[in-house]
Amino acid sequence: MKEEKVLIDAVLCFLVKDNQVLLARKAKKIGAGCWSGYGGGIDDGETEIQSMIRELKEESGIIAKEESLEKVAIIDFHNTKSDGEKFICKVHIYLVNNWIGEPRETEEMLTPTWFDVAKLPFGEMMPSDKDWLPQLLCGKKMIASAYLGPFQETLLAKTEIIYVENFD
């Protein structure tokens, strides 16, 4: 039986270069088997930025500097578990355009692959990604809410998006 992970506050980033975005297959936890950006939970005492830099290094071997991270979204993922219990995970999303190192496969993230931003594998990604990721990769910033079913395999309602200039 699959474990349903509950995460409340998280970060996620997408490395971008030359009209391409780096995705890797999640090996476990939320979104296991799906193509995704890099990220995870914010540890106690960490800032969003510290967490993002740590997660990126742990999951890909890539080192990013704070100034290379651009915050582009805050998305509340409203998750319904198989027992009907609900939880919200607030995810702070960043684009990274400058880094040190080459992406490598890790225990958590498999097969790092560059995809053309116009040809993303949405059929093999989390179901709400198609609603917000293309806009982020085209320069939009947003605050959004996505509504997902058990194991984040289905979209239960339309993703709500509000475009913003910044996050002050």
Is the predicted pLDDT of residue 34 greater than 80, yes or no?
A: yes
Residue 40 within a domain: yes
Residue 68 within a domain: yes
Is the predicted pLDDT of residue 6 greater than 90, yes or no?
A: no
Give, in order, the Cα–Cα distances in Å from 125 to each of 7, 43, 117.
19, 25, 14
Q: Tell me the mean pLDDT in the region 103-121.
A: 98
| Domain that residue 17 falls in | 9-72+90-135
Sorting pLDDT into bands at 50, 70 and 90, what band is 5? low
What value does the mean pLDDT of the chain take? 94
Rounded Cα distance, 157 and 128, in Å? 10
Residue 62 within a domain: yes
Helix, strand, or coil (residue 146)? strand
The 10s digit of each residue's pLDDT in 54-74 is 999 999 999 999 999 999 999
Radius of gyration of the chain (CA): 15
Task: Give percent above pLDDT 70 in the chain.
Answer: 96
Longest dimension (CA), the chain: 44
Identify the pLDDT of residue 153.
86
Q: Tell me the mean pLDDT in the region 21-44.
A: 93
Is the predicted pLDDT of residue 1 greater than 60, yes or no?
A: no
Identify the pLDDT of residue 29.
78
Residue 142 within a domain: no
Task: Provide the CB-side half-sphere exposure for 135 (13 A, CA).
Answer: 18
Helix, strand, or coil (residue 23)? strand
Residue 82 within a domain: no
CATH value at residue 65: 3.90.79.10
Identify the pLDDT of residue 28.
86
Phi-psi domain of 137 (left: phi exceeds 0; alpha: psi -120 through 50; beta: other): alpha
Number of domains into which the chain is organized: 1
Sorting pLDDT into bands at 50, 70 and 90, what band is 152? confident
Residue 33 within a domain: yes
Phi-psi domain of 135 (left: phi exceeds 0; alpha: psi -120 through 50; beta: other): alpha
Residue 162 within a domain: no
